[in-house]
Structure 1
Amino acid sequence: MIAMKTVNPPQSAVSKDLEEEKCECCTSRHTFALLCSIGLGIAYFLRFNLSVAMVAMVTGSSIPVGSANMSSHSKECPRPNVSSDNTTIPNTGEFEWNPKTQGLILSSFFYGYCVMQIPGGWVSTRYGAKLIVGLSILIQSLLALLTPVAARTHIGLMIAVRAVEGLAGGALFPSVHTMVGRWAPVNERSKIIAYIGLGPYLGVVSAFFGAGWLCDQPFLGGWPSAFYIPGCVGCVWFLFWMFIVHSSPSKHPRISKRELHMITSSIGENIYEKKPVPWVAMLTCAPFWAVCVAFTCSAWGSYTLMTELPSFMKAVIGVNVSQSGLLSALPYAVSIVFTLMWANLADFLRKKEYLSVTKIRKLMNTIAALCPAAFLVLSSFVGCNQYVVAGMITGATCFQVADAAGSNAVMIDMAPHLAGLIKSVCNTFATLTGIVSPYLAGVLVNDGETKEEWSKVFYIAAGVLVFDAVFFLIFASGDVQPWSAPVTEIEVTTDEYSEASSQKQLWSGSTTIQG
């Protein structure tokens, strides 16, 4: 556990500092958020570029144009205009990997990713998160540079490289959350989390378009450039990260006194000591499990939206979404705007004190769960128009990203100095849904040609999301938990705060932040 010495003013004084602060785009905390967002974007590009590059890498197969491989022969949504020409498009890739081998290579990343969640969160909490974040992206970047060599050497080496890349990536998000807990003031928490969260969406969109474009270029041999270029970018990013970003505001040599005071007066100035993690208290805490349930259920909904609905479009509607970069990237692109919208709304409600922190988090999580559930149910009743179904995916995603200001933010509210560890535990459960959800869908959907079969998948996902909303509403809390940060000493450092302390109680690790 982490013991701290905390300098904490009354909440009213904190709010006054935050309200008086002018909009500054080059502050240390915003620089941290920007570099963190770019780093996550690079990491996500490196995670998904292989899925796109695989098409150019493999050989020994062709794509029949106008055949059932391009569109299903579903009787519910016939395509009378589909050509019967079975002309094939030869694939000139250099690897003879069958679909099973390709699946093994692609999945190897996530096995490593799942294993490293909790160790990564523990290490970042105990020894500092800045270096872990930097090394995570550096290692993934270096392994990306080695990927073409590994692929041409042996299939086993290729799988090993991807698995180690997953191990490095598994420590990333818990470490990022640890740093956010130290850098994000209370009234800007949702916004900073959202800004950082834009990186993965931009990375996915860039992978869909950028990796495919690089594979078609003669530069660096075609598909290898989809690994060489982002790998080099990641190495350059590492240098900027190590020289510009610091693990906490108090350790930053160039931070302004005003910003340092504003951050520390909001979340406390901490002197960390190595203490055992309060596992028993944490694992028996209802708000902790509310976050884990929300993460797991939200991940189930995400996998259904981004994996099963596109499969439904291919099998029943007759459109292979992977063949359309626009339809594939549209949900991610639109989510960028809505992520910022929900985050700014949450921080506005918090800053104006219209709702407490707990109520804001519950509101956002309810939106992120129930609205996508409704879209999933409606997907079973829409007709055969591919654009309507694509609109369902996009609409559901626009609401689901509200969890950036819900379950993603509440773990920092309830335990700001253990947020990385909580993230790692919850993310472990969430990652497992990526294995369970597709498998269950395969069991429920036999030949995959009728809406009735697919409706079972959508109803189950909707039910999971409804359970998420109800459980979170009952058990979640945005208050600092007693086990999260025991305080060894509390002191007030300014006359203004000393005068205010007679009217407002200073919060500590054993009290709660009230909205």
Structure 2
Amino acid sequence: MWNMKENQNLLPVESKEDYITVKDKITSCRWLVGVVVCLQMSCTMMLRMNMTMVAVCMKPPNMTVTVVQNGTNVTMRDDYLDNYVSWDSTMEGLLIAGYYIGLALVSLPFGAISGKVNVKVMMMGLTALMVLTSVVTPTLTFVSPYVVLATRIIVGITAGGLEPGATQLLSDWAPLPERAQMMVLVETANSIGAIFNFLLSGLICSIPVLGGWPFIYYIFGGVNLLSLVIWGFCVYNKPSVHPRITAKELNLIQNHRDKRSTSRVSHIPWMQMWTSSAFWGCVLGFITSGIIFMIMAICLPLYIEQVLKFDPTINGAVSALVFVGRMAGAIVFGYVADFVFSKTRLSIGQLRKLFQVTGLLGSVPVVIWLGYLREDKQILAVALMALYWFIVSAMNSGFRVNPADIAPRFAGLINGISITLTAVLSAIAPLIVAAITPNGSAEEWQVVFYGVVGVSVIGSIMFVLLASGDEQEWAKDPALTSDVVVMVSNKTDVSKYRQGKSDSESTPLINGNSRLHT
């Protein structure tokens, strides 16, 4: 009797050649690609998130000079103030929202083409456009705030193609035993970029030239150009076209992943996808994460200022510390998810649901506790915020990996659809928070935190009911043959299996320890 695990059309039985050592990982081409993708996404995140800090740094300080004219002290305005710009809160909010407007407009189209185009070139072009737009923004700032709004929309448009592209690229490189670890690199990159944005922007603003704030664009833009050079030399669309990959690593990737033809996607089964419960489970996982991120991360500086009463000069540092917890959680739970998969009999679907629920419900007691803290518990509140994001990051080994499980050929498309819907709904979240907290009191923020609890509970239930770990029938590659290759020890046997619907709902020919049992 076969001991089976859920949902892979072909997974080999592990042989000595398939054993992965730490050295193999460090020196592998797949992890070099993964790290460079993480680096690139981190650098672009610095440009994507910088508007919040720019809006703070560009406000004119109270700079006056007292001189004596005809024996009278006269206070004069310092010409250095010409380097600053002052906008009202409505315009600042619109400029921050501009990014999400662009993101919502194009994430779906970019997701749809991510499986049809050269993803490496597409992401290089989008990053270059983002850099160019950002570098000219300081000059355009003195023209009109609406011109700046246009640049923010363009930055959002470029970002709308980056995440679907990165998801599709990593989906093509990640073998199943390392899928969770590699797919959460996008989330890790977002946290790294946010940390450096908060920490470095405050320091850059102190540069005594041009008001300091334009250098946020210039320095971050230069860093992105350097990362593009590394990207050009190290990243390839697929393992099969990498000139330096070894035969052992190529076999490892190809044998421990879904089977796809080498041709690009030519047809998208829109109707089957939109009516698939597994698809909606995955999308709702993204939306849940996006709403929580907008409330607990983007609105976080407001809570730190209004309730915890932190000095504005250290607000950025505290916000960055929270993202450290988020990044650590994504890395730790990504490793734990792959470890649990290799050591237990949990199916892929069960594994994704376990980590999704762990992140959402496991963080509920922390966020409730946080709602009852006041100014006299600043240190505890910061520690709880970091702990909250550490725990909630477990869901990245659930929903974020799931597109590569249910539809690996369309992972970028699902990511694009999810980002589009998330961007629209997430843009509403700050407005709701503002409506609930008109006075910024601790009691008002307590209501916000209970709202987060509600989102977490509902999101958990929907993911458990709808999500799946099976590659969906509509997502399979029709160009494949029905032959299944089973590798035992160091030999290869070929067995014929009919790949009908029943196969997609069955389990692969290995158990959790990658051993064949009878």
TM-score (norm 2): 0.85
**Aligned AA (1:434):** S
Per the TM alignment, residue 202 of structure 1 is displaced from its structure 2 partner at its CA by 1.3
Partner residue of 2:404 out of 401, 412, 416? 412
TM-superposed deviation, 1:142: 1.6
Distance (Å, rounded) in 1 between the aligned partners of 2:456 and 2:45? 25
Deviation at 1:344, TM superposition (A): 0.8
Give 1:184's aligned residue: 174
- Mapping 1:74-223, distance limit 5 Å: 92=81, 93-218=83-208, 222-223=212-213
Structure 1 residues 339-348 or 297-306, which shifts more? 297-306
Alpha-carbon displacement from aligned partner over 1:294-331 (angstroms, at most 9, x marks no partner): 11112222222124454334333433667433311111
Alignment of 1:68-467 (within 5 A): 92=81, 93-218=83-208, 222-267=212-257, 268=259, 270-319=261-310, 323-384=314-375, 385-451=377-443, 453-467=444-458
Task: Name the SS of the counterpart of 1:116 in structure 2.
Answer: helix
Call closer, same or farther: CA 1:169–1:501 in 2, change over 3 Å: same
Query: Is the Cα contact below 8 Å between 1:37 and 1:196 reproduced in 2?
Result: yes
Identity percentage over the alignment?
24
Distance 1:495 1:392 in 2: 48
Q: Which residue of 1 aligns with 2:38?
A: 37
Match of residue 77 from structure 2: none
CA drift at 1:40 = 0.7
Asked whether the 8 Å contact 2:13–2:486 carries over to 1, the reply is no
Closer, same or farther: CA 388–36 of 1 in aligned 2, 3 Å: same
Change (3 A) 1:386 1:310: farther
Corresponding residue of 2:468: 477
Query: Residue 158 and residue 446 in structure 1: after superposition, are their counterparts in 2 closer, same or farther (change >3 A)?
Result: closer
Any conservation in 2 of the 1:314–1:320 contact (CA below 8 Å)?
Answer: yes
Deviations 1:268-303 (A, max 9, x none): 353224432111111111111111111111222222
**Inter-partner Cα distance in structure 2 for 1:114 and 1:382:** 35
Cα offset, 1:167, TM superposition: 0.5
Cα deviation code 1:104-159 (max 9, x no counterpart) = 22221111011111011012122232222222222111212111222133323222
Shift of 1:371: 2.1
> Gaps (5+ residues) in structure 2?
1-7, 64-79, 513-518
SS at match of 1:355: coil
- SS state of the match for residue 114, structure 2? helix
Equivalent position SS for 1:417: helix
Distance 2:9 2:460 in 1: 34
Aligned residues: 479
Structure 1 gaps, min length 5: 1-7, 63-90
| Change over 3 Å in CA distance of 1:321–1:288 after alignment to 2 | farther
The answer to whether the 8 A contact 1:14-1:265 is kept is no
RMSD after superposition: 2.8
Q: Distance in 1 between matches of 2:96 and 2:47?
A: 12
**Distance in 2 separating the partners of 1:367 and 1:41:** 26
Distance 2:184 2:190 in 1: 11
CA distance in 1, matches of 2:439, 2:427: 20
Distance (Å, rounded) in 2 between the aligned partners of 1:9 and 1:480: 8
Between the aligned partners of 1:14 and 1:508, the Cα distance in structure 2 is 25
Which secondary structure state, in structure 1, belongs to the residue aligned with residue 23 of structure 2?
coil
How big is each residue's C-alpha offset from its partner over 1:199-226, in whole Å with a ceiling of 9 and x where there is no partner?
Answer: 2211111111112212212467622221
Instruction: Measure, in 2, the Cα distance between the counterparts of 1:465 and 1:232.
Output: 39
The Cα of 1:507 is off from its aligned counterpart by: 7.0
- Compared with structure 1, are the counterparts of its residues 16 and 367 closer, same or farther at alpha carbon in structure 2 (3 Å cutoff)? farther
**What is the Cα deviation at residue 376 of structure 1?**
2.2
